Structures are given as C-alpha cells and as structure tokens.
Structure 1
C-alpha cells in the first residue's frame, strides 16, 4: 500500500513538472510575440 502511495506521489510530481514546462513554453511564446511587435514598431517608425 505504501508503495502505491509513493507511485502516486511520483506521478503527481511528474505532472507538476509537465505543467511547469508548459508554463515556460507559454512564457517563451509571449516573449517572441513581444519581440515581433517591437520589431514591427521599429520598422514602422524609423
């Protein structure tokens, strides 16, 4: 029974890690978007 609990905990941890990774990816995407917008603005306004 204890072993099962440990396994569950491990699974939870893995899930958390995946979530963190997803969040990081989202942040990266946001940064890319910001960068694009900035570049476009610079092009529009020399």
Structure 2
C-alpha cells in the first residue's frame, strides 16, 4: 500500500515536471514569436526611412531642376538684353 502511494506521488511529480517543461517551451515559443514581430517592425521602420530618404532625394532633384530653369531664364534675359 505504501509503495503504491509512493509510486502515485512520484508519477504526480513527473507529470508536474512535464507540465512545467511544457509551460517553459510555450514561454520560449512566445518569446520567439515576439522576437519575430520585433524583427518585422524593424524591417517596416527601415522601409519607411528608405521611402522618406527617396522622397527627400526627389525633392532635392526637383529643387535642382527649378534652379536650372531659373538659371536658364536668367541667361535668356541676359541674351535678349
């Protein structure tokens, strides 16, 4: 009878350890999912920064074209005068 109780307690401890290992595995999976989400957010932030840099380059090209048009107008005025 005593052996049976010991055996039952041992089995229960083993089951509890297995449940704890499973909880730890689940926590690790959740940490991995969170790391993956963070990597995705960082990729999106970088894409946003790259889009902003491209918009700034385009604005600079447009300003340069406008300066060139202004110089061209000045040359035309000088050549007429």
Global fold match (TM > 0.5)? yes
In the alignment, which residue of structure 2 is the partner of 1:25? 60
Choose which of 10, 14, 21 in structure 1 pairs with 2:45.
10
Structure 2: give runs of 5+ residues left out of the alignment.
1-35
Q: State the Cα deviation string for residues 7-37 of structure 1 (Å, max 9, x = none).
A: 0000000000000000000000000000000
Task: Specify which structure has the higher proportion of helix.
Answer: 2
Whose Rg is larger? Answer: 2
The number of residue pairs the alignment matches comes to: 46
Choose the corresponding residue for 1:39, options 49, 68, 74. Answer: 74
Gaps of 5+ in 1: none
Q: TM-score, normalised by structure 1?
A: 0.96
CA RMSD for the aligned pairs? 0.5
